[in-house]
């Protein structure tokens, strides 16, 4: 059984632990080690996560199975003042993948989105990320191709994907 509970400042270390496990697996063949380290520090530093959680820039949730925390999500309702829930982050530990947990998490995000008057889910995915096929199976469609400068000469080369709910 999967449970999703809102994260707090006290959960930052757990979010960082999961990011440090999942990111090298997810992006290790896509990004250089230097870019990977830069992005982890940029996005998952104590300061960045504290600011996002305190200011509710993103709502963070921990994903647990019956034994332990296995992942996290970061979402934003009313994205750009529209009826959209933006999924900024969704990471599950590698050993849990392929067990149907991802699908369950997306169903729960959809329920939260509807409760917050959203009619669409939106996410960005690296154009070379194997998760792209998973998102397509869930009904997401590519809406746009974007290159986002993140500093230090690095780009995020993403697809923006959306799904009506």
Indicate whether 24 pLDDT > 90. yes
Average pLDDT value over all residues in the chain: 96
Q: What is the 3-state secondary structure (H, E, C) of the chain?
A: CCEEEECCHHHHHHHHHHHHHHHHHHHCCCCCHHHHHHHHHHHHCHHHHHHHHHCCCCEEEEEECCCCEEEEEEEECCHHHCCEEEEEEEEECHHHCCCCHHHHHHHHHHHHHHHCCCCEEEEEEECCCCHHHHHHHCCCEEEEEEEEEEECCEEEEEEEEEEEC
CATH superfamily of 3-164: Gcn5-related N-acetyltransferase (GNAT) (3.40.630.30)
Query: Mean pLDDT over residues 13-29, rounded?
Result: 96
Indicate whether 97 pLDDT > 90. no
Taking only the tens place, the pLDDT of each residue in 37-58 is: 999 999 999 999 999 999 999 9
pLDDT band at 163 (very low <50, low <70, confident <90, very high): very high
Indicate whether 15 pLDDT > 90. yes
pLDDT at site 81: 97
């Amino acid at each position: 059984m999967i449970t999703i509970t809102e994260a707090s400042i006290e959960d930052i270390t757990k979010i960082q632990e999961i990011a440090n496990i999942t990111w090298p697996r997810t992006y290790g063949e896509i990004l250089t080690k230097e870019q990977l380290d830069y992005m982890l520090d940029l996005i998952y530093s104590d300061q960045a996560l504290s600011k996002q959680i305190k200011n509710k820039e993103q709502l963070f949730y921990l994903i647990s199975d019956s034994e332990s925390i296995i992942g996290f999500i970061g979402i934003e309702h009313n994205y750009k003042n529209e009826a959209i829930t933006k999924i900024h982050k969704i990471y599950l530990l590698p050993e849990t993948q392929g067990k149907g947990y991802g699908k369950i998490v997306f169903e729960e995000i959809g329920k939260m989105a509807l409760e917050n008057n959203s009619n669409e889910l939106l996410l960005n995915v690296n154009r070379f990320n194997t998760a792209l096929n998973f998102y397509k199976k869930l009904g997401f469609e590519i809406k746009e191709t974007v290159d986002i400068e993140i500093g230090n000469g690095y780009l995020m080369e993403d697809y923006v994907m959306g799904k009506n709910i």
